[in-house]
Amino acid sequence: MSLQHALLGVLEARPMNGYELTRFFEAAPRWVWSAPQSQIYPTLRQMEQAGLIEGQKEVRGTRLSRTVYSITERGLAELRTWLATPHPPPPARDAFFLQALFFDMIEPDRAASVLKAFIAEQEQLVAEWRAHREALLAKETDLIKERLKSRPAAEHDRIAALKAHVFAGQIAVATARAEWARESLRLLEA
Amino acid sequence: MSLQHALLGVLEARPMNGYELTRFFEAAPRWVWSAPQSQIYPTLRQMEQAGLIEGQKEVRGTRLSRTVYSITERGLAELRTWLATPHPPPPARDAFFLQALFFDMIEPDRAASVLKAFIAEQEQLVAEWRAHREALLAKETDLIKERLKSRPAAEHDRIAALKAHVFAGQIAVATARAEWARESLRLLEA
DNA sequence: GTTAACATGTAATCAGTTACATGATTGC
DNA sequence: GCAATCATGTAACTGATTACATGTTAAC
Q: How confident is the model at residue A81 (pLDDT cuts 50, 70, 90)?
A: very high
Interface contact A87, partner B, CB < 8 A: yes
Q: How confident is the model at residue B52 (pLDDT cuts 50, 70, 90)?
A: very high
Q: How many domains does chain B have?
A: 2
Q: Find the domain containing A150 and state its range.
A: 95-189
CA B7 from chain centre, in angstroms, equals 11
Footprint on protein of nucleic strand C, Cβ below 7 A:
A 1-3, 34-39, 60-64; B 17-20, 22-23, 37-38, 41-42, 44-45, 60, 64-67, 90-91, 93
In strand C, the nucleotides that come within 7 Å of a protein beta carbon are 6-12, 14-20, 23-26
Please compute the mean of the pLDDT values over residues B50-66 and round it to a whole number.
94
Q: Look at residue B140 and tell me if it is in a domain.
A: yes
User: Straight-line distance from CA A67 to C1' D5, in Å?
Assistant: 17
Q: Is the pLDDT of residue A56 over 70?
A: yes
Q: How confident is the model at residue A1 (pLDDT cuts 50, 70, 90)?
A: confident
Q: Look at residue B89 and tell me if it is in a domain.
A: no
Q: Look at residue B141 and tell me if it is in a domain.
A: yes
Q: Is the pLDDT of residue B82 over 80?
A: yes
Q: How confident is the model at residue A29 (pLDDT cuts 50, 70, 90)?
A: low
Q: How confident is the model at residue A110 (pLDDT cuts 50, 70, 90)?
A: very high
Q: Which CATH number do you get for residue B41?
A: 1.10.10.10
Domain boundary among A83, A112, A133: A83
Residue type, A43: T
Q: How confident is the model at residue A9 (pLDDT cuts 50, 70, 90)?
A: very high
Q: Look at residue B79 and tell me if it is in a domain.
A: yes
Task: Find the largest Cα–Cα distance for chain A.
Answer: 70
Q: Look at residue A23 and tell me if it is in a domain.
A: yes
- Going B180 to B182 to B185 to B189, the CA torsion angle's sign is negative
Residue type, A167: F
Q: Do A97 and B169 touch (CB under 8 A)?
A: yes
- Going B24 to B27 to B32 to B33, the CA torsion angle's sign is positive
Q: Look at residue B35 and tell me if it is in a domain.
A: yes
Nearest to B121 by CA among B43, B29, B186: B29
Q: Is the pLDDT of residue A28 over 70?
A: no
pLDDT of the residue at B135: 96
The torsion angle over the Cα atoms of residues B22, B25, B27 and B30, rounded to 10 degrees, is 160
The backbone torsions φ and ψ at residue B55, rounded to the nearest 5 degrees and listed phi first, read -95, 135
Q: How confident is the model at residue B158 (pLDDT cuts 50, 70, 90)?
A: very high
pLDDT of the residue at B30: 75
Chain A: nearest CA to B32, how far in angstroms? 6
Q: Look at residue A115 and tell me if it is in a domain.
A: yes
Q: Is the pLDDT of residue B127 over 70?
A: yes
State the average pLDDT for chain B: 96
The DSSP secondary structure of A78-123, one letter per residue, reads HHHHHHTS--PPPPPB-HHHHHHTTGGGS-HHHHHHHHHHHHHHHH
B56 and B122 in a common domain: no
